[in-house]
Structure 1
Amino acid sequence: MSDKSDHDLLQLAKDAALAAGEAIMRLYDIGDFESYQKDDESPVTSADYKANEIITDLLLKHTPDIPILSEETKHASLEERKTWKRYWLIDPIDGTQEFIARSGDFAVNIALIEDNKPKIGVIFWPPGQSLYYALAGHGAFKESPEASGPISVRKLDDPHNSVVILAISRRQPRERVISKLCAKRVYQTLPLGSCSLKSCFIAEGKADVFMRLGVTGEWDTGASQCIVSEAGGTIYAADFEPLSYNQRNTLENPDFIVLGDQNVPWRDIIQY
């Protein structure tokens, strides 16, 4: 096993995310990338592959004994994965559609999963030069040109009556999401791209809830779950059951919800 401390591993993940983000922005700024379609019809680009190469090379160099599970590489079988006490979980570009559409709403996700739970979470938003990160039990933080320091979810003045800020996808039909919410509450919507950026906005108090209906992978939530949890929020499957990591043959997530202030009666608000 690696003799690096948890803080060393966190720094390594931050370094890898920043290095990948720098390379992504070079390609993004000049439009020098190719787009492809995967077997599941989701998009991928040469920038995804380049970011994946940078991240995996750095992690393999410094932690050769820690396995890596990335969206953009061949996935080990559950039989093999079950032997992993901990592993790196990576999405080189979360929000590839937004990258292609040039909305700026894309991020690099790196998590360390230990005993089937997110231990470290790092999310870098290259266009915003914002780095979000957390180590379980040590709080959540953000580094950006504007400000750096601890972050936490927004506390509503009245958990039962305050306006709830709903982070919502730019691509997903919002009517489907809003139909799942209690009609008696008042909502303000905040359109964003990638899943992880919506989660980060909840972690830093810019939004209160995000509901994802549709296919995602465990790499879409691993880093987010660590950061949101350390900021005082939580992520559940949409039926309020915990998300699982490395415990099923499929690596697809169920529908899930990201929740901020834990004093809000979310079970009354989410009518899933």
Structure 2
Amino acid sequence: MSNGDTSKYLAIAKQAAREAGRVILKIYDSGDYQRYSKDDESPVTSADYLANDIIQAALAKQTPDIPVMSEEQNNGDLQSRQHWKRYWLIDPIDGTQEFVARSGDFAVNIALVEDNQPVVGVIYWPAGDSMYYASKGNGAFKETPKEDKRISVRKLDDPVHGVVVLAISRRQSREKVMSRMNSSRTYQALPLGSCSLKACFIAEGKADVFLRIGVTGEWDTGASQCIVTEAGGKILAANFEPLTYNKRNSLTNPDFVVLGDPSVDWQEVVKYQQEDNHEKS
């Protein structure tokens, strides 16, 4: 993809995310929405569906030939999508539980995937009016009303013994998280909401690592992976293998880990146990 194409797609994604985010925030502030439960008992709201419609319409208008994969639609089986060279990957509201709980920690995720890897990533945080974005080979950035600056992961003063800032879910047992970390290290816990905002905080150097145990979809990591990678970090499966996109019938992610400072031996820090994978966090 040329730099011109990258800039065009990035601008389209940012505009769509901001447009959806404004509507989501208006609904959030008013409290005027309906709540439903999916088959797995996770929450979904009328705001999720409306945001999905807004993003889908914006992308269809600007890029009618690029298919869209979304959390809030039937995406078909691998046979019907395996020949997609390029597609949009969206999560209209990442952190619906946080939206319902009124913590403010929810975001709009839009990624462009090419050859099965995210090449554009946009995450808009409506409550914080902050836009995190990146494109392959061009760095990661955070845009607020006051500034638009390049971001990067935090470098630990001492990669072996330095304090590690651990992003954790607001609704997760801190003891369970700590039990999956090397007890010889020193940690500072940073409670946050949605998966994508935890990843963004790592990308901008406010946290160092996040281990996600539980069910997520490829739309939960696509935009984050582009942003974190361009900021100097990594997102991997929790067994430290690469995540995949549109290569399986299932769009469910394995447990995964978001990593900051590349000089840290993260496999020494994160003591992931495969038997943990039935838990949700």
Q: After superposition, what is the alpha-carbon deviation per residue over 1:157-184, rounded to whole angstroms, capped at 9, x for unaligned?
A: 1100110000000112222221111000
Partner of 1:215: 215
After TM superposition, give the deviation of residue 77 of structure 1 in Å.
1.1
CA distance in structure 1 between the aligned counterparts of 2:96 and 2:173, rounded to whole angstroms: 18
Partner of 1:200: 200
Please give the secondary structure, in 2, of the residue aligned with 1:166: strand
Please give the secondary structure, in 2, of the residue aligned with 1:127: helix
Partner of 1:78: 78
Partner of 1:161: 161
Please give the secondary structure, in 2, of the residue aligned with 1:142: strand
After TM superposition, give the deviation of residue 130 of structure 1 in Å.
0.2
Please give the secondary structure, in 1, of the residue aligned with 2:17: helix
After TM superposition, give the deviation of residue 13 of structure 1 in Å.
0.1
What does 1:33-182 correspond to in 2, within 5 Å? 33-182=33-182
CA distance in structure 2 between the aligned counterparts of 1:87 and 1:148, rounded to whole angstroms: 27
Please give the secondary structure, in 2, of the residue aligned with 1:245: coil
CA distance in structure 2 between the aligned counterparts of 1:268 and 1:100, rounded to whole angstroms: 37
CA distance in structure 2 between the aligned counterparts of 1:176 and 1:238, rounded to whole angstroms: 15
CA distance in structure 2 between the aligned counterparts of 1:268 and 1:206, rounded to whole angstroms: 21
- TM score, norm. by length of structure 1: 0.97
Amino acid at match of 1:138: N
After TM superposition, give the deviation of residue 249 of structure 1 in Å.
1.1
Q: After superposition, what is the alpha-carbon deviation per residue over 1:28-53, rounded to whole angstroms, capped at 9, x for unaligned?
A: 11101110001111100000011000
CA distance in structure 1 between the aligned counterparts of 2:143 and 2:7, rounded to whole angstroms: 16
CA distance in structure 1 between the aligned counterparts of 2:261 and 2:230, rounded to whole angstroms: 12
CA distance in structure 2 between the aligned counterparts of 1:5 and 1:151, rounded to whole angstroms: 22
8 A contact 1:177–1:213 mirrored in 2: no
Q: After superposition, what is the alpha-carbon deviation per residue over 1:47-72, rounded to whole angstroms, capped at 9, x for unaligned?
A: 00110000000001111110000000
After TM superposition, give the deviation of residue 146 of structure 1 in Å.
4.1
After TM superposition, give the deviation of residue 260 of structure 1 in Å.
0.3
Please give the secondary structure, in 1, of the residue aligned with 2:111: strand
- Give the aligned length: 269
1:245 and 2:245 are equivalent in the alignment: yes
After TM superposition, give the deviation of residue 104 of structure 1 in Å.
0.3
Please give the secondary structure, in 1, of the residue aligned with 2:128: coil
After TM superposition, give the deviation of residue 125 of structure 1 in Å.
0.2
Partner of 1:16: 16
CA distance in structure 2 between the aligned counterparts of 1:242 and 1:112, rounded to whole angstroms: 18
CA distance in structure 2 between the aligned counterparts of 1:176 and 1:90, rounded to whole angstroms: 30
Q: After superposition, what is the alpha-carbon deviation per residue over 1:200-252, rounded to whole angstroms, capped at 9, x for unaligned?
A: 00000000000000000000000000000000000010000000000011111
Higher alpha-carbon deviation: 144-153 or 178-187:
144-153
Higher alpha-carbon deviation: 67-76 or 121-130:
67-76
CA distance in structure 2 between the aligned counterparts of 1:147 and 1:156, rounded to whole angstroms: 25
Partner of 1:264: 264
CA distance in structure 1 between the aligned counterparts of 2:197 and 2:12, rounded to whole angstroms: 21
Please give the secondary structure, in 2, of the residue aligned with 1:49: helix
Structure 1 unaligned residues grouped into runs of 5+: none
8 A contact 1:225–1:234 mirrored in 2: yes
CA distance in structure 2 between the aligned counterparts of 1:102 and 1:231, rounded to whole angstroms: 29
